[in-house]
Structure 1
């Protein structure tokens, strides 16, 4: 559930590949699973696919007590360098041993998404934190001020950020 919007359920479903998800959609099990997921929603569902890299860091980020989910919406295709910039930002977090960070990963949406009139590819960054307070404390540091420019804040037409507390179901 999103911490800023407790009525908003957020789910990351991991698949071996995009093809495996499409294969599952053709099975008899898909209908009942989808029906159960739809029952849980408070708002319309907008499913989309992101290949988070590195995957092990994605797992650490989403298993953290709090996960920051930052989505950068672009008009049309995301700039080709956006993933390299996310990598450099993750390297800052790792090399500087930022207090409270448990993992960070990023990826681009396979689908074109629309948010408040912006339609195109989205870039998604997830950062696992020990707490929301740890994230907020980092934003006050000089290191954050020096490295936030690596994020595509000016190129993105819209940025949406929230915190989620995920639970794993297998």
Structure 2
């Protein structure tokens, strides 16, 4: 199954943060481009977080986790060389995959991480699927596609580590996402999504596809 490596690139001191996408991508991607053919990612998406303009969000999808493991050490060298450092990295099978691809090509993409306060329940993704179906039935809500999964690694939250769910949703605009939060569908289903959750991190990105 395809697996997606998700991480952020905060620009460190000395970077030109007036255009973070260009500053990081211009140099870093020169090195990474030479490695794409060797490690065969299915796709690579980069984009600046709307909420934090000095943070680059990256999603790289492989045919399997082994492709990413082989590339990790070389990517780390490139990141350090080009004045960035990776942050909050995890791997997750985001399903449905076709919806992931569509969501990343929307005008704006929501990337949401739900940190569990305890062990994740097996049925949690079923709750997400019900939410997706209800949102799809909400006429004119602006949701174009969505996908989700449970991160393979434990992720740090409030000084401790635990599991997290990651959801990616494509919207017509950030405003459309905000408007959806006022609908009865959102108010009915989001409490179910939050029942086992201790914290949620959300950002919006206009992604660009590299390969």
TM-score of the superposition, structure 1-length normalised? 0.86
- Does residue 11 of the first structure (1) align with residue 58 of the second (2)? yes
Per the alignment, residue 199 of structure 2 pairs with: 158
Q: How far apart are the structure 1 equivalents of 2:140 and 2:167?
A: 16
1:64 to 106, 113, 133: 106
CA offset digits 1:87-125 (Å, max 9, x no partner): 111111223345311100000111111022241111011
Per the alignment, residue 123 of structure 1 pairs with: 165
- Determine which structure has the larger strand proportion and give its number: 2
**Structure 1 residues 17-166: aligned runs within 5 Å:** 17-25=64-72, 31=74, 33-38=75-80, 39=82, 41=84, 44-151=86-193, 153-166=194-207
Could you tell me how far 1:35 is from its partner in structure 2?
A: 3.3
Could you tell me how far 1:24 is from its partner in structure 2?
A: 3.8
Q: Which runs of 5+ in 1 are unaligned?
A: none
Q: Which runs of 5+ in 2 are unaligned?
A: 1-47
RMSD: 1.9
Could you tell me how far 1:6 is from its partner in structure 2?
A: 0.7
Q: Which has the higher contact order (CA 8 A, sep 6+)?
A: 1
For structure 1, which segment, 160-169 or 91-100, has the greater mean C-alpha deviation from structure 2 after superposition? 91-100
CA offset digits 1:51-103 (Å, max 9, x no partner): 00100111111111111111111245312111111111111122334531110
Q: How far apart are the structure 2 equivalents of 1:6 and 1:105?
A: 24
TM-score of the superposition, structure 2-length normalised? 0.70
Per the alignment, residue 167 of structure 1 pairs with: 208
Aligned residues: 163
